[in-house]
């Protein structure tokens, strides 16, 4: 396993549409998911899409266990949202690719998803609460959409400028 670099805005790769994994869940895909999970835990975050480490494949990892609880890693290959309910849930979201920015996004409160798990088995389930928020946020990444794309143009630009400034400062600190 290895910790990979997480891309941040305005890296153009984050706008890419990810491609489906062909040929099922191979050892290569499992190795990618292992790296993604380690990178996510290190960050730390609760969800990560492959494109966030520069791999344009429809793969997501997640762990919603609270601090002090046993880890509960979840793996999603070729996930699809097949149904949503009309009722929405506002939730203050953040993203490892938009560090230190948090804002409220409103999404369907429940959704039904289908995906292949770590062992390649097909799963079909309903998600709600934080699980529903997180899977919809991560699935957006597969389409090249970030949570700040759901905000007003002004808020989005402010967020990007803030991250750009912070990244520049970090690079300066690293070289000095
Ligand atoms: Zn994100």
Taking the domain 12-175, which CATH number applies? 3.90.45.10
Question: pLDDT at position 121, please?
Answer: 98
Percent pLDDT > 90 in the chain is: 93
The backbone region for 113, taken as left when phi is positive above 0, alpha when psi lies in -120 to 50, beta otherwise, is beta
List the chain domain ranges: 12-175
Q: What is the pairing mode between strands 73-84 and 110-116? A: antiparallel
Catalytic residue among 16, 93, 138, 143: 138
Check: CB of residue 70 under 8 Å from CB of residue 95: no
Does residue 131 or residue 171 have the better pLDDT?
A: 131
Q: How far is the CA of 132 from the centre of ligand 1 (A)?
A: 14
> What spacing in Å lies between the alpha carbon of 176 and ligand 1's midpoint?
30
The answer to whether residue 175 scores a pLDDT higher than 80 is: no
CA of 89 to the centre of ligand 1 (A): 17
Average pLDDT of the segment spanning 88-105: 97
**Helices and strands, counts by H and E, the chain:** 3, 7
pLDDT class of 129 with cuts at 50, 70, 90: very high
pLDDT over 90 (residue 29): yes
Residue 81 tokens read as: 């949202």
In the residue annotation, 138 being an active-site residue is answered as yes
pLDDT above 80 (res 162): yes
Kindly report, residue by residue over 51-69, the tens digit of the pLDDT: 999 999 999 999 999 988 9
- Residues contacting 41, CB < 8 A, separation 6+: 63, 71
- What's the gap in Å between 17 CA and the centre of ligand 1? 14
> Which backbone phi and psi does 30 adopt, to 5 degrees?
-65, -40
């Amino acid at each position: 396993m290895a910790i990979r670099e997480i891309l941040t805005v305005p890296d153009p790769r984050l706008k890419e549409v990810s491609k489906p994994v062909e040929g099922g869940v191979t050892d290569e895909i499992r190795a990618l998911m292992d790296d993604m999970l380690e990178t996510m835990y290190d960050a730390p975050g609760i969800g990560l899409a492959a494109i966030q480490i520069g791999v344009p494949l429809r793969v997501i990892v997640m762990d919603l266990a609270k601090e002090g609880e046993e880890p509960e890693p979840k793996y999603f290959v070729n996930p699809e949202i097949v149904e949503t309910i009309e009722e929405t849930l506002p939730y203050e979201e953040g993203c490892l690719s938009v560090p230190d920015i948090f804002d409220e996004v409103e999404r369907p409160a429940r959704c039904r998803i289908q995906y292949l798990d770590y062992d390649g088995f097909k799963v079909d389930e309903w998600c709600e609460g934080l699980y529903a928020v997180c899977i919809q946020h991560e699935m957006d990444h597969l389409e090249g959409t970030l949570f700040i794309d759901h905000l007003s143009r002004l808020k989005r630009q402010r967020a990007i400028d803030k991250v750009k400034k912070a990244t520049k400062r970090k690079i300066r600190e690293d070289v000095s």
